[in-house]
Structure 1
Amino acid sequence: MKRSKEQASETIVRLIEVARKHFTEHGYAESSMEDIVAEANLTRGALYHHFGSKKGLFQAVLESVQSEIGVRVEADAMQSDDAWEQLIRGCRSFVAAAVEPRNKRILLIDGPAVLGWEAWRRMDEENSMRHLREQLGLLQQQGSLKPVPLDAMTHFLSGALNESALWIAQSPDEGGSLEDTITVITLVLKGICND
């Protein structure tokens, strides 16, 4: 029984890895389930068994991308002991990760289009926005954040980061656009700083 669970887990991981490559290179619409299962050396039955459909597989890939970005954002933010610096580092890390070629099409383009805006937003709330709200709450507990409504501030900042990522992804100068975005985000955050 234990080996069956290990095999199922290995199958799921393999399908997600191969599908991520296909969705990144070809987009959701142009990715074929036949090509994905062939490259993974599995059957369509395995894909349907674990994910139910191509859309289910895409959702699992998107969840994996969001989780990976979340881990990276947290690691980058924790390189500082200062809560404000952690917030700024986290914002930079999120935007930089979102526009990387292996993430941007899945996260920013196909994610909302394939799953629908509501499902995409719910997933974003469960991942990025949750961490963002926690950091803002910590700053407020420390007395470092002006008394702003946390939910409103979280949604405002998350929206700014997501829209900035979309803008940067289409910019001919991603590096310069990222730096401009961080400059603006830092100025906005200074406006709510209680120091």
Structure 2
Amino acid sequence: MSADRRTQAERSAATRQVLVAAGRTLFGQDGYGEVSTVAIADAAGVSRGAMYHQFTDKRDLFEAVFEDVERSLVETIGSAVAASGSTDPLDHLIVGCLAWLDASSEPEVQRIALLDAPAVLGWARWREIELRHTIGLVEATLAAAVEAGRIRDQAIRPLALVIVGAVDEAAQYLANFGDSPQEERDIRSVIEQLIAGLAIENF
């Protein structure tokens, strides 16, 4: 590939990146329905033509933004697990779910990942993307816990979906109704107990 073509590819990638960043900010603040393509292009400092060269429409851009949010969540969870210093996959699951709970309580993540993504992308596409990122990470950790003999051998995907549903619901509750530190501590305790209860000694 020539230097000119590489430069063009790099420019295209940079344009895509600034559009995703601008879309993430605006979608996170105002919600999908309130954000126009004109506003996104203006915030990114590019023309609408350049935006449509990268994305077919607003929905296509939103999907890229949702993927970006999911990647960020996986990075946040991974950093928390690494910082814990534990080698126990069940501990990893607890630490990761609590980190996910914290991150999912942020307004931007709430709006994009939990509120708008299922409606805009449809449940099937929303779930497909989550399976590649956050749910996939939970599944991998559960599989490691089974392999290590920490939890009973069982169907991994249904278990992962139940755990993810619990964390999502907990995040929604804290964002909308949790107005005291004690409520947050109680929710975190429930998540810890839910996952610790999977330990094989309980069977």
Cα displacement (A) at 1:37: 0.8
Structure 1 distance, partners of 2:156, 2:135, is 11
Q: Which residue of 1 aligns with 2:164?
A: 158
Structure 1 distance, partners of 2:161, 2:133, is 13
Structure 2 distance, partners of 1:63, 1:72, is 14
Q: Which residue of 1 aligns with 2:10?
A: 6
Q: Which residue of 1 aligns with 2:74?
A: 70
Q: Is the 8 A contact 2:178 2:184 kept in 1?
A: no
| Partner AA of 1:57 in structure 2 | L
Q: Which residue of 2 aligns with 1:102?
A: 108
Q: Which residue of 2 aligns with 1:187?
A: 193
| Partner AA of 1:43 in structure 2 | S
146-155 or 110-119, larger mean C-alpha shift: 146-155
Cα displacement (A) at 1:176: 4.0
Q: How many residue pairs align between the two structures? A: 195
Structure 1 distance, partners of 2:131, 2:46, is 33
| Partner AA of 2:18 in structure 1 | R
Q: How does 1:1-195 map to 2 (within 5 A)?
A: 1-79=5-83, 80-81=85-86, 82-173=88-179, 175-195=181-201
After the TM superposition, which segments of 4 or more aligned residues of structure 1 sit over 3 Å from their partners?
174-178
Per the normalisation by structure 1, the TM-score is 0.93
Cα displacement (A) at 1:175: 4.7
| Partner AA of 2:9 in structure 1 | K
Cα displacement (A) at 1:147: 2.8
Structure 2 distance, partners of 1:156, 1:7, is 42
Structure with more relative contact order (C-alpha pairs < 8 Å, separation 6 or more): 2
| Partner AA of 1:165 in structure 2 | A
Give ranges in structure 2 of 5+ residues lacking alignment: none
Judged with a 3 Å threshold, the aligned counterparts in structure 2 of structure 1 residues 33 and 70 are, in CA distance, closer, same or farther, namely same
Q: Is the 8 A contact 1:96 1:178 kept in 2?
A: no
Q: Is the 8 A contact 2:31 2:112 kept in 1?
A: yes
146-155 or 69-78, larger mean C-alpha shift: 146-155
Cα displacement (A) at 1:95: 1.2
Q: Is the 8 A contact 1:95 1:178 kept in 2?
A: no
SS at 1:173 equivalent: coil
| Partner AA of 1:110 in structure 2 | D
Q: RMSD of aligned C-alpha atoms?
A: 1.5
Any idea what the Cα deviations from partners look like across 1:135-173, whole Å, max 9, x if unmatched? 111111111112332222112111111222222221242
Cα displacement (A) at 1:7: 0.5
SS at 2:133 equivalent: helix
Cα displacement (A) at 1:84: 2.1
Q: Is the 8 A contact 2:90 2:196 kept in 1?
A: no
